Structure 1
């Protein structure tokens, strides 16, 4: 016979006597309420509040919980709402003592601290519902066992910025997940983490509410949402559907929590790929989580006709909502008509990810089992629309591959091709298998590798000062360039006026040129192509010199700079660049003029004045034509010039809507890539300046969000980053489709305020790049972060743990 409630109460009182503690009145009240429920044939459950519990009151409560398995109690809920500091070890012991009867855990971890959160994440819990509002989460990494967890609410965890790769691996039953008002931003890593959840059907990053004639949705300020009791239905041993049963009121005594219910009724998940069927069979029933206020019931009625079924008469109005203007993100208010009535919906507590363009379509297309997103239903027509939008604006796999391939499979196909040498008969075409070039297989291998790495390898370039005659120091990079012919060599200039040539593969310093005279930032660096040991460096004080890193290298790696060749100064310099024959170079800066220098003689040949209406930020020669160059200016114009025409008037002019930060030629000189303030990135035809592609990256509204973009993988992709954001975006240079975003937050060391200062694609390694990152904190250091999109983050942990590197915000490339 199970232990009845009266016996439990008696044993609790006896345990209190044994521990010399007075029985807690709140616990006695909980036991009394449970007895009343049992007598009324209701669900016999305990609701234990940790608020104001003293440490000495935990031992008898633990004794009570040890006996719950053999009692009449069917479920136990644990919650706390105050910030009263508790002994976190007692709290976890209590929850784990309840074991399989633990149903709901509703906590604010401010009352427990980081150690509680670490233990909870690593060991797990047996609860079905976990509501956790945390100020300590930065990277969600819940590796413990949460096998029974069906609902997880992390709303208002405002420090949470990213999800770890396997953070949901131990939650096979999770169906409802809410992440409102977190700081999660990256679509790609977020979806990759969600893909590990086979049962997820309800996801929320914001809450859409009807706001007509009622106050705004504010109930979720507590960070809680309600839940249901879930059951998996089986048909002849096959998983055919998941039905979410009737609502169980687990917090009937708390009106505020009742307003925060996260509901999902009668959702059917089909095995076929079509997913959600059309509404003729009434397979969706969305009921109101806020019935007492009425406005969420209206939202339900808008989609279901008030009877739990999708109302065919409202299909057109719903389509009007789904087929809104594509330029308008689903994050601001929207209005729809129900009959003659205008109903307005507003988003509350939206996370930053909601403001990513096509966020909803990306989520729906990437998570085909999802049935509700942000408390709005997902119908079959919505899934089809999302798939079309995804194919138009995103690349699922690099190089427009339709499906992800296995690396071994690609290698096998390549070997089959190379091992056969077909003889082509007259009038017959060789099979397409043999017509594929080596480039095809190289791209296929890259696509296969990158498709398996949602969390790419990021690690700081570790450059130690021990190579400098035993001197220990760190560097503050401000500009860097890959070597054009040596795949292991990179040079960077610092804010302190130093120039460091380094083997970026092993971190060894090849040559170090200290700052001479006053310390000034190195803003211009350019390797010479025909003379691979030489480079031109320019500082913001106007200093310009030609260095040979081999001739000046000493046993300690330190160069005096005495053998350098100086040029006439160019005041307030920001950019230098040599032409393709290494005969000439140009310098530009905070003026409207451009200076032309002869490299061999060291003389300044000419100054071209008033080339723009405002100062010229960056100047670039073409990669193959020694006389053609382009200038980008804050006057919003990009201009192409030809030295053979004595640059009095440009070959063409192309205007941006904002000031131009960056311009560069594609490796084959076919295109110009132009970056203006706040993510305005365009690709022009170099022959006449016509617009070839607008990458349509969302702006932030900041006038100081300086954007820089470069090519990667030849001219196949572009990488773009801005100094007010911690994201690098990768887009196809032929279609403009977004391939991937790389978030710097959460990678390597703590990067809570890290931003993209500059970036370059690795000219020798596909899908490799480096990022010059900067912190916004005063006197912060800078670092160069290497990114390998073909290797996973586990590779970085295994090979680069313990390496240290160390980020300002000024103009230049």
Structure 2
């Protein structure tokens, strides 16, 4: 026979006597409440609020909890609502002692240390519902057993930015997950992690609700009684403006916010007027909630509504999936009021364009997203949007293939993998093409590696006792192992980036400041041009430069050219005879490499200063310039560049321009993620890449080609994302998130280059804004898994200025 509650309470009092402690009034009150519930034939739940428990209360309570299995107590809820006197080790021991009767756990980690979180992660809990509000972890990595958990609430975990690849393998029954106001940003890694949850049906990264001018507030919900019950706990989180009478309260910085002083991430409230909700369903508007764009998908969620007039007395939305018709509906009773829709506490991932469609298309078992039910029409629309704007696998391969299978097909020359046909799809090669199997292998490897291998370069053989501060870098055009980088201190360093050894070192000796221009010669692969922002221009022969780092360096192997003031860019032509220099002026200088002389200065080529100049890869007389006057211009030295061959314009200032490897296209990158591709023959616009702006005039964007001209990579100095897009269709293939390893370190893209010898490999110059920290060059291999990376420690990474240059 089970031990009744009164007997259990008596045992607790007896344990208190044996430990020399007084019974806790809070614990006695919990026993009394449980007995009242039992008398009412309700679920007999023992609620323990550990805020009220001191260390001397712990031992008697722990002994009592070890006897719960044989008691009438049916479930135990443990809550921590504020600061707690109980240490983390005791709190975890208590949770483990309750064991199988543990139902709900609500914890805030303000009172518990990292060891407490580590114990939960590694050893797991037997609870059904876990609410964990923490500012201590950035990457979610739950490795222990959470077999009974069906609801996980991580709302307001303000440092959470990403997931470990296997973090959800241990919770097969998780149905509901909420991560409002976290810092999750990456669609691809998020979906890859969530796809490990076979039972997930309800997901939330923001809290959609609508509020009437009369003061009533309604939540958008699925109407599914089971899933709603799962989220009853989540609804206890106080959302600002939940019962608002005027939406100005949601954006007024002086309005009282019960969360403002408690959570560090800040409020993200998007208030939409009803008129802004009405959008054509065929419109390519942004999906979800963004900070700067007020177009919405709600007209598709609520088809047939005339949102410009008062709503009818009753509105019913039913799911069009027959099998889910009872679960996917809700009814709101609204009488002659105008409604305003609000997104509460949105995580940054919600600001991504087409966020909602991407999640729906990628997680087919999902029934509710952000408090809004998912209908059959939503799924159909999501499939179309995904196909239009995203690539599931490289080169439009439709299905993941094993590497072994592809190799077998290559050996027997059997068949080929079909690609999805589309009016925007390029004519990718058939199975008879020499590129077919290479691209198939890339698709297979990338499909199995959502978390790419990121490896910061660490240079060996450095005996100066200090780290480098790289500002610019270039791969060697013919030696796949070599890379050169210039530093903020005017040094030029040639490295073998495969074994991370220094090949040649050229100190500044006060002659150079920040190195912004670097370019290898093609026919003379041991030579390179280096230019600094103080105008210094030199040609070096690395075969005549000492490999060992020393404080003395002569002029051997060095040619000095006339200075070009405020230099930002240098580039050598296809025959290694000439090079161009540009800078913070409207002029471009032409130099003869053989004679070491400046041949000519072309003046007033733009209305604003010229940031980057690039020669074509194959034509030695053709070059392009990009300027903050919003123009990109093509020039021909044979025509005495007084008038451009053509002018192509962006809507913002152009940061850089480059030619595709075959010179068929030029790629222009303007401020704040405006990336355009033009036909090099006449400057006609070929493609505008659909990358959302941040509305920052200082968000300098740089883009380059990768895999020949198949893909482009793009990054900006105010963001930690590298975006990979198909150069023929503009579809997004992946976003790569760069994260500093230490808590609170912010990483931004200062520059980047595609590896000319390895498909889906690149390097990124990462800038850290934390004072006293180092910059670094990070190698990215999308075809290898992050699991291959070593656990490198990082700290102290310096800040880089946002000076111009490629």
TM over 0.5: yes
CA displacement 1:282-309 (0-9 Å, x = unmatched)? xxxxxxxx999999xxxxxxxxxxxxxx
Change (3 A) 1:216 1:667: farther
> Counterpart of 1:51 in 2: which secondary structure?
helix
CA distance in 1, matches of 2:731, 2:522: 33
Query: How many Å apart are 1:49 and its aligned residue?
Result: 0.4
Q: Name the structure 2 match of 1:384.
A: 380
The alignment status of 1:584 with 2:578, answered yes or no, reads: yes
Counterpart among 712, 728, 735 of residue 741 in structure 1 = 735
Q: What is the correspondence of 1:301-340 to structure 2 with a 5 Å cutoff?
A: 323=281, 325-331=283-289, 336=305, 337=307, 338-339=311-312
Q: Name the structure 2 match of 1:477.
A: 470
Query: How many Å apart are 1:624 and its aligned residue?
Result: 0.3
Q: Residues 76 and 102 of structure 1 are in contact (CA less than 8 Å); yes or no, is this contact kept in structure 2?
A: yes
The alignment status of 1:726 with 2:720, answered yes or no, reads: yes
The alignment status of 1:596 with 2:554, answered yes or no, reads: no
CA distance in 2, matches of 1:518, 1:464: 25
What is the TM-score of this pair, normalised by structure 2?
0.86
CA distance in 2, matches of 1:377, 1:752: 37
CA displacement 1:323-356 (0-9 Å, x = unmatched)? 3743233216657534486533110000000000
CA distance in 2, matches of 1:683, 1:665: 10
Deviates more, 1:373-382 or 1:556-565: 556-565
Q: Name the structure 2 match of 1:139.
A: 139
CA distance in 1, matches of 2:468, 2:549: 17
Q: Residues 725 and 732 of structure 2 are in contact (CA less than 8 Å); yes or no, is this contact kept in structure 1?
A: yes
Pairwise CA RMSD: 3.0
Change (3 A) 1:108 1:764: same
CA displacement 1:371-426 (0-9 Å, x = unmatched)? 0000000011111110010000000000111111111111111000199xxxxxxx
CA distance in 1, matches of 2:339, 2:711: 43
Q: Residues 511 and 558 of structure 1 are in contact (CA less than 8 Å); yes or no, is this contact kept in structure 2?
A: no
Query: How many Å apart are 1:781 and its aligned residue?
Result: 1.6
Change (3 A) 1:773 1:795: same
CA displacement 1:229-277 (0-9 Å, x = unmatched)? xxxxxxxxxxxxx9837848988xxxxx765499xxxxxxxxxxxxxxx
Q: Residues 398 and 739 of structure 1 are in contact (CA less than 8 Å); yes or no, is this contact kept in structure 2?
A: yes
The alignment status of 1:690 with 2:684, answered yes or no, reads: yes
Q: Residues 562 and 598 of structure 2 are in contact (CA less than 8 Å); yes or no, is this contact kept in structure 1?
A: yes
Q: Name the structure 1 match of 2:749.
A: 756
> Counterpart of 2:438 in 1: which secondary structure?
helix
CA displacement 1:18-63 (0-9 Å, x = unmatched)? 1111101111111111111112211111111011311010100001
Query: How many Å apart are 1:472 and its aligned residue?
Result: 2.8
Q: Name the structure 2 match of 1:358.
A: 354
The alignment status of 1:462 with 2:462, answered yes or no, reads: no
Query: How many Å apart are 1:98 and its aligned residue?
Result: 0.5
Q: Name the structure 2 match of 1:19.
A: 19
Unaligned runs of 5+ in 2: 247-274, 299-304, 313-335, 416-427
Change (3 A) 1:245 1:633: closer
CA distance in 1, matches of 2:578, 2:242: 75
The alignment status of 1:628 with 2:586, answered yes or no, reads: no
Q: Residues 580 and 613 of structure 2 are in contact (CA less than 8 Å); yes or no, is this contact kept in structure 1?
A: yes
Change (3 A) 1:350 1:596: same
Q: What is the correspondence of 1:495-534 to structure 2 with a 5 Å cutoff?
A: 495-518=488-511, 520-534=513-527
CA distance in 2, matches of 1:738, 1:18: 66
> Counterpart of 2:655 in 1: which secondary structure?
strand
Q: Name the structure 1 match of 2:642.
A: 648
CA distance in 1, matches of 2:712, 2:636: 26
Change (3 A) 1:402 1:12: same
Change (3 A) 1:293 1:658: closer
Q: Residues 127 and 149 of structure 1 are in contact (CA less than 8 Å); yes or no, is this contact kept in structure 2?
A: yes
Change (3 A) 1:660 1:67: same
What is the TM-score of this pair, normalised by structure 1?
0.85
Query: How many Å apart are 1:135 and its aligned residue?
Result: 0.8
Q: Residues 85 and 112 of structure 1 are in contact (CA less than 8 Å); yes or no, is this contact kept in structure 2?
A: no
CA distance in 1, matches of 2:770, 2:464: 27
The alignment status of 1:410 with 2:368, answered yes or no, reads: no
Q: Residues 553 and 559 of structure 1 are in contact (CA less than 8 Å); yes or no, is this contact kept in structure 2?
A: no
> Counterpart of 2:579 in 1: which secondary structure?
strand
Change (3 A) 1:436 1:557: farther
Q: Name the structure 1 match of 2:226.
A: 244
> Counterpart of 1:664 in 2: which secondary structure?
strand
CA displacement 1:176-211 (0-9 Å, x = unmatched)? 000000010000000000000000000000001111
Counterpart among 351, 359, 364 of residue 368 in structure 1 = 364
CA displacement 1:747-789 (0-9 Å, x = unmatched)? x566721100000000000000000000112343210000000
Q: Residues 451 and 785 of structure 2 are in contact (CA less than 8 Å); yes or no, is this contact kept in structure 1?
A: yes
The alignment status of 1:782 with 2:749, answered yes or no, reads: no
CA distance in 2, matches of 1:569, 1:779: 32
Q: Residues 151 and 227 of structure 1 are in contact (CA less than 8 Å); yes or no, is this contact kept in structure 2?
A: no
Q: Residues 429 and 435 of structure 2 are in contact (CA less than 8 Å); yes or no, is this contact kept in structure 1?
A: no
> Counterpart of 1:493 in 2: which secondary structure?
strand
Q: What is the correspondence of 1:248-327 to structure 2 with a 5 Å cutoff?
A: 259-260=236-237, 323=281, 325-327=283-285
Change (3 A) 1:444 1:81: same
Q: Residues 589 and 617 of structure 1 are in contact (CA less than 8 Å); yes or no, is this contact kept in structure 2?
A: yes
Q: Name the structure 2 match of 1:566.
A: 560
Q: Residues 576 and 587 of structure 1 are in contact (CA less than 8 Å); yes or no, is this contact kept in structure 2?
A: yes
CA distance in 1, matches of 2:231, 2:202: 19
Q: Name the structure 1 match of 2:73.
A: 73
Query: How many Å apart are 1:480 and its aligned residue?
Result: 0.2
Counterpart among 530, 537, 561 of residue 530 in structure 2 = 537
CA distance in 2, matches of 1:593, 1:258: 62
Query: How many Å apart are 1:805 and its aligned residue?
Result: 9.9
CA displacement 1:408-445 (0-9 Å, x = unmatched)? 111111000199xxxxxxxxxxxx99952231000000
Q: Name the structure 2 match of 1:170.
A: 170
Counterpart among 667, 671, 674 of residue 677 in structure 1 = 671
Change (3 A) 1:294 1:498: closer
> Counterpart of 1:550 in 2: which secondary structure?
helix
Q: Name the structure 2 match of 1:130.
A: 130
Change (3 A) 1:41 1:435: closer
Q: Name the structure 1 match of 2:111.
A: 111
Q: What is the correspondence of 1:770-809 to structure 2 with a 5 Å cutoff?
A: 770-797=763-790, 801=792, 807=798, 808=800, 809=802
The number of equivalent residue pairs is 726
Change (3 A) 1:803 1:441: farther
CA distance in 1, matches of 2:404, 2:784: 16
CA distance in 1, matches of 2:772, 2:600: 39
Q: Residues 167 and 193 of structure 1 are in contact (CA less than 8 Å); yes or no, is this contact kept in structure 2?
A: yes
Query: How many Å apart are 1:99 and its aligned residue?
Result: 0.4
CA distance in 2, matches of 1:99, 1:71: 13
The alignment status of 1:443 with 2:443, answered yes or no, reads: no
Change (3 A) 1:136 1:218: farther
Q: Residues 757 and 772 of structure 1 are in contact (CA less than 8 Å); yes or no, is this contact kept in structure 2?
A: yes
Counterpart among 610, 619, 627 of residue 613 in structure 2 = 619
Change (3 A) 1:414 1:249: closer
Q: Name the structure 1 match of 2:600.
A: 606
CA displacement 1:460-481 (0-9 Å, x = unmatched)? 0111343xxx433210000000
CA distance in 2, matches of 1:804, 1:259: 39
Query: How many Å apart are 1:634 and its aligned residue?
Result: 0.8
Unaligned runs of 5+ in 1: 220-224, 229-241, 252-256, 263-289, 296-316, 420-431
